[in-house]
Amino acid sequence: AAAAAAAALVVVGPDGKPVPRYVPPSYAAAMKHARAVNVYRQRAGITVRMNDEAIRDLDGDDILADIYVACERRGIVLQRVVKDGKISAMIEDVPPSQAADLAQTGVTIRGVRVRCVPEEDPAAAQSAAQAGGEKEDFSQPYNIAKTGPAELGELGVGIGLYFESLLWAAKVMGVMALLGFFTTVVYLRAGTLSEQLDAGALTWLAIPTLGAVSWANEQGKRLLWFSDGPPSMWGAGSDEGVMMAVACIELFLALVFILTVRALAAQQQETIASIDVSNITLTDYSLKIDGLPRDAITPTEIGQFFARFGRVHMVVLGTDVGGLIGRHLQRAKWERRRTEMDAAFAKSGGKSSVMNAAIQAQARRMEKYEAQLQQKMGTKAGETTSAFLTFETEVAREKAERAFKPNNLLAWMLRPESLKMRSTHRLWVTRAPEATDVIWENLGVVGGNAGLRRALAWLGMIFLLVCTGAAVVVAKSQSNKVPPAIACQPAYDAQTLMCDAMWPAASKSGAESLAVLAELGHFVRQVDADKCRGFIDAGKWKGNATAYAPYTRPEALYENVTGLWTGGFSSAALEDECSGMACFDCMCKTRPFELSKIALGFASDDDGWWELCQNYFISKSVEMATAVFTAFTNILLAAMTRTFSTFERHHTKSGLEASVSIKLFLALTVNSAAIPLLIFANVEGLSWIPYIFKGPFKDFTTGWYQSVASLISITMAVNALIYPFTAMVNNGLRRLKRRALQGHVLTQQSLNELYEGGEFRLSERYAQMTSMLFTALMFAAGMPLLVPLAAGFCLIVYQEGKLTLLRHSKRPPQYDAAMADIFVSIMPWASVMKILLSGWMLSYLSVPTFTYTVKVLDDVLEPTKVSSQFDLNARLDRSNAAVSVVGLALLLAAYIVRVNWIAIRGVIKRVFPVLNVFEDDDFSLTPDLSIARGDGILKGLKTYRIHDNPDFNMVPWSACIVAGGEDQPTPTGWEGVIDEEDAAAAAAAGVNSQGTSLAVKIHAEEAGAMPAGMARMLGGGGGGGGGGGR
């Protein structure tokens, strides 16, 4: 039978030689692979539900404490109970046989028998999980609607914190939009004045901005009620009072935002603790050690050095395998190609001689490469890099961290000799990342090499931003050719701008019309929007072109010899040329239908109108095109940022993603907000800097809101749509690719890859969210609609992100909290920028405000006056700016208290020793490593050995040096001894050191004991030693 089965797998080729029979790839195997690598909820069993009034006042931990001991006596292992309703709860991950027992007997909670109902039939679940005699698999897709940040934390603490941050941002920005509704109403009512709409000084997204208030005040219009007569209700200072209220509201929102960020930070620490308790992984017990001696260091010596903190379980010492991993990946790629060629040859029945020759050539090439690889591995052993040390208990790891103070450069420099390895080497000790998080080929990049790579990466980022800024400069120069929008009819009525009399093209046709419009084009080309600001301002024509009537033309518009402009109607001023630019706007924008027919080819341009106005419409679209270009540039920045961060060679995937997040946040914020702000600004003292500070705006004028604020708002709106839309498009394209190619691939590996999801790039998502929030807050005082826009963005991305992660993504790495920490550290600075920019915007000369004078303050600030453009005295003499100064003073005081909080807390404890408000009740709920492994609750990889990591399974075992571990003898000196901290505590308590040693030994060997915290949770506050152990 065996011989027959083997013969069935072979066919005879045309040359008489046996050829393996082609076996098509299996869709069932591909689906199984997808369940293994994509995002599925990994379960150790099925869910058992309870529904009873007895659990109304209990939480999940209370229920677990009530039923744990009784269930354990019956051989039922419980890991987690989740309360999902007022009187309902779930026991998760119960093996099917034990779920059947629970269904038969139920459980007793507070003396009440509660019925247990499995969500699935235990027998059917057991049968399905063991189908084909394979390992039990209870994995299932997540329920998108019912999955929140806590459940997403099962995929890694970083994932859970990201979605928690999105929900927080959506709620906070939504509440801020409601609290700032008064500001929005003031701006919107000012921007929708009929006079403003007729003038066209502000259009579209520029209407609900602070620029509308400036325009209304300049035109003598009142805020809120807009009565032209004296107010009867608000008093003489009503406008000033309204803007004072706006300034106070904006300050209040900024301070509230900082408080909510602090609350988010505390909430995330609770989330981390909650996720950490329910997700026990190797990182709970392990340290990453750098700065080791390079000469003859061994894992055994490292373990002996750290055994002072507790029993060491295992030490994995890495070697520099950067070059080897690249070669192994190349070998894997060639093996993949060989497999594809073999499948194609087998599918042809051995009839393709060309393919056969290619296979032989590939085999020779691989054989030669394999020999080179073996020689490389045998001649050069990589230098040792980092070590990963795993303790038996979490307490030992925490003691070591307290001694070495991770990420503290000063502590590293002042390291005592007792903590120096071999009394000479200062070790850099941090909590180890997840085993799947390590990038082994980068561990050899340290010291000066790492610093140089980071410097070059940042230089590349700066160059990239300069290039994107140059594109905005080009767009600005193009938009400067666009005539400013003006109110044409008032100028006609006042007979100060008679376009039809100056250029009577409307009454002509054919060649005559062409000649008139060509002449108008020559006038327009002599000026731009900046040169004409004296005649066209705030949507009004301020000149008087009728002074040039009867509009006598010069004999020639240009000098014959020099080709210079002769001056138009008058060479003494630019008023006639600017009148041409104003008429250009009026004549083109009143013919959209006629010109659109010519542009679409439905009519001919016999009179020359399209030839004149096509540049007008093209230039008018530049603003939107610039915003769209900026948004797509942001997508390019994401790709380039990852390239630069990869070049830095970080040791972990989380470190890489954190680097991408920081760089991309800065790039997106600079590209979307800072570059337009700097390019359109006109700062005389800084005009020597290339490209920037040469713009038309010296302050936040009405024109600034029309040009720059509109550009920023459009860019933000486009980004808010493009970010989630791009992800959804990628999801759809991946599904289409699978459907199109799944019937044509030749190998199982290729089909498996089609069923794999995409990567869930957490760093890019964090950067997008942080940039949107930062920009919205920074400009909120002048553009309040950015706040609800940011809230909507976060809400949409929360839903899109869950869909993308849970249905279209591979299981992401176990990201740590690094990116969440970056987020909460950046966000307070958004409020600081909001306060600074609010003070400057609201104290602009045309914004209504109360004024006062403080002579002492004026004298102090007098030396800071560099020009009228930056006169701090003039700004701070306005109440709107004073509000921001008060806010900054409050923030400074809070910062001083925070920096000195440890000292302040110590003083309070000395003055009021009876107070216990600062005492922390810290205890560990994490069981010993051996217990976690034995009970099957240790998630993720079980060791840090490189070949246990599926991403590096092509690397040989010799790539790392190992001592200790499961089923391996414990090296001498790893058992653990009392460290200095315990000895000092014992001495202070007057305990004999010998007795203490004995007690510690007995405690370590006591099989029935459990941590005090665990005993309190399970036994309702009982003692630490006896409360029913394992």
- Under the banding of pLDDT at 50, 70 and 90, the label for residue 991 is very low
Beta carbons of 18 and 10 less than 8 angstroms apart:
yes
- Under the banding of pLDDT at 50, 70 and 90, the label for residue 183 is very high
In the predicted structure, residue 983 carries a pLDDT above the cut 60: no
Please write down the HEC assignment for all residues of 784-832: CCHHHHHHHHHHHHHHHHHHHHHHHEECCCCCCCHHHHHHHHHHHHHHH
Which range among 287-291, 364-368, 812-816, 865-869 has the greatest average pLDDT? 287-291
In whole angstroms, give the CA distance from residue 50 to residue 940: 29
Cβ neighbour number for residue 499 with a 10 Å cutoff = 23
Q: Give the 3-state secondary structure of residue 541.
A: strand
- Greater confidence (4 vs 852) lies with 852
In the predicted structure, residue 234 carries a pLDDT above the cut 60: no
Angle at 24 between CA 21 and CA 26, to 5 degrees: 135
Element at 69 (helix H, strand E): helix 60-73
- Greater confidence (488 vs 620) lies with 488
In whole angstroms, give the CA distance from residue 665 to residue 763: 9
Buried-exposed string 558-581: b where 16+ CB fall within 10 A, e elsewhere: eeeeeeebeebbeeebbbbbbbbb
Cβ neighbour number for residue 382 with a 10 Å cutoff = 18
In whole angstroms, give the CA distance from residue 215 to residue 784: 17
Rounded to an integer, the average pLDDT of 210-235 is 69
- Under the banding of pLDDT at 50, 70 and 90, the label for residue 401 is very high
Residue 429 sits at φ, ψ, to 5 deg, of: -115, 130
pLDDT the model gives residue 631 = 65
Each residue of 54-73: pLDDT tens digit?
999 898 888 988 898 888 88
Which whole-number Å values give the CA distances from 318 to 330, 439, 646, in the listed order?
A: 21, 11, 20
Each residue of 723-736: pLDDT tens digit?
899 999 999 999 99
Which whole-number Å values give the CA distances from 999 to 312, 485, 722, 994, 1002, in the listed order?
A: 19, 86, 63, 9, 5
Tokens of 31: 């689906």
In whole angstroms, give the CA distance from residue 326 to residue 332: 10
Beta carbons of 191 and 791 less than 8 angstroms apart:
no
Cβ neighbour number for residue 215 with a 10 Å cutoff = 27
In whole angstroms, give the CA distance from residue 969 to residue 349: 54
Rounded to an integer, the average pLDDT of 336-355 is 83
- Under the banding of pLDDT at 50, 70 and 90, the label for residue 997 is very low
Residue in the block written with tokens 């807050």? 777
Tokens of 772: 């949107």
In whole angstroms, give the CA distance from residue 441 to residue 330: 14
Each residue of 616-642: pLDDT tens digit?
776 666 555 666 666 677 777 778 888
Which whole-number Å values give the CA distances from 834 to 682, 774, 780, 783, in the listed order?
A: 21, 9, 7, 11
Bridge-based pairing state of the strands 286-290 and 384-391: antiparallel
In whole angstroms, give the CA distance from residue 1025 to residue 1030: 12
State whether the Cα torsion 991-992-994-998 is positive or negative. negative
- Under the banding of pLDDT at 50, 70 and 90, the label for residue 1013 is very low
Residue in the block written with tokens 């921007």? 191
Beta carbons of 459 and 676 less than 8 angstroms apart:
no
pLDDT the model gives residue 184 = 93
In whole angstroms, give the CA distance from residue 398 to residue 402: 6
pLDDT the model gives residue 227 = 45
Tokens of 21: 């029979």
Buried-exposed string 719-750: b where 16+ CB fall within 10 A, e elsewhere: bbebbbeebeeebeebeeebeeeeeebbbbeb
Instruction: Give me the amino acid identity at 692.
Output: I
- Greater confidence (847 vs 707) lies with 847
- Under the banding of pLDDT at 50, 70 and 90, the label for residue 167 is very high
What's the whole-number average pLDDT of the chain? 81
Rounded to an integer, the average pLDDT of 246-253 is 94
Bridge-based pairing state of the strands 80-83 and 88-94: antiparallel
Beta carbons of 923 and 1012 less than 8 angstroms apart:
yes
In the predicted structure, residue 719 carries a pLDDT above the cut 70: yes
Angle at 304 between CA 299 and CA 306, to 5 degrees: 95
Each residue of 677-694: pLDDT tens digit?
888 888 877 777 777 788
State whether the Cα torsion 35-36-38-42 is positive or negative. positive
Residue 342 sits at φ, ψ, to 5 deg, of: -60, -40
pLDDT the model gives residue 128 = 61
HSE at residue 106, side-chain half, CA atoms within 13 A, is 10
- Under the banding of pLDDT at 50, 70 and 90, the label for residue 225 is low
- Beta pairing partners, 540: 537
Least confident range of 499-508, 794-803, 946-955:
946-955
State whether the Cα torsion 443-447-453-455 is positive or negative. positive
Residue in the block written with tokens 């006609």? 492
Q: What is the DSSP secondary structure assignment for residue 80, as one 8-state letter? A: E
Which range among 251-265, 363-377, 514-528 has the greatest average pLDDT? 251-265
Give the list of residues 6+ apart from residue 684 with CB closer than 8 angstroms, or none.
Answer: 867, 869
Q: Give the 3-state secondary structure of residue 107.
A: strand
Beta carbons of 102 and 116 less than 8 angstroms apart:
yes
Rounded to an integer, the average pLDDT of 886-890 is 91
pLDDT the model gives residue 126 = 63
Which whole-number Å values give the CA distances from 823 to 152, 262, 664, in the listed order?
A: 18, 11, 13
In the predicted structure, residue 305 carries a pLDDT above the cut 90: yes
pLDDT the model gives residue 783 = 94
Q: What is the DSSP secondary structure assignment for residue 108, as one 8-state letter? A: E
Q: Give the 3-state secondary structure of residue 950.
A: helix
Percent of the chain residues past pLDDT 90, beyond the cut: 27
Rounded to an integer, the average pLDDT of 95-115 is 89
Each residue of 570-584: pLDDT tens digit?
888 888 888 888 888
State whether the Cα torsion 563-568-573-575 is positive or negative. negative
Tokens of 521: 């084009």
In the predicted structure, residue 975 carries a pLDDT above the cut 50: yes
- Greater confidence (937 vs 425) lies with 425
Please write down the HEC assignment for all residues of 605-633: CCCCHHHHHHHHHHHHCHHHHHHHHHHHH
Bridge-based pairing state of the strands 280-281 and 938-939: parallel
What DSSP string describes 386-417?
Answer: EEEEEESSHHHHHHHHHHH-TT-HHHHHT--G
- Beta pairing partners, 112: 109
In whole angstroms, give the CA distance from residue 716 to residue 671: 11
* Termini Cα distance of the chain: 51
Each residue of 6-65: pLDDT tens digit?
445 555 555 556 767 788 899 989 998 898 889 988 777 788 999 999 999 898 888 988
Beta carbons of 842 and 213 less than 8 angstroms apart:
no
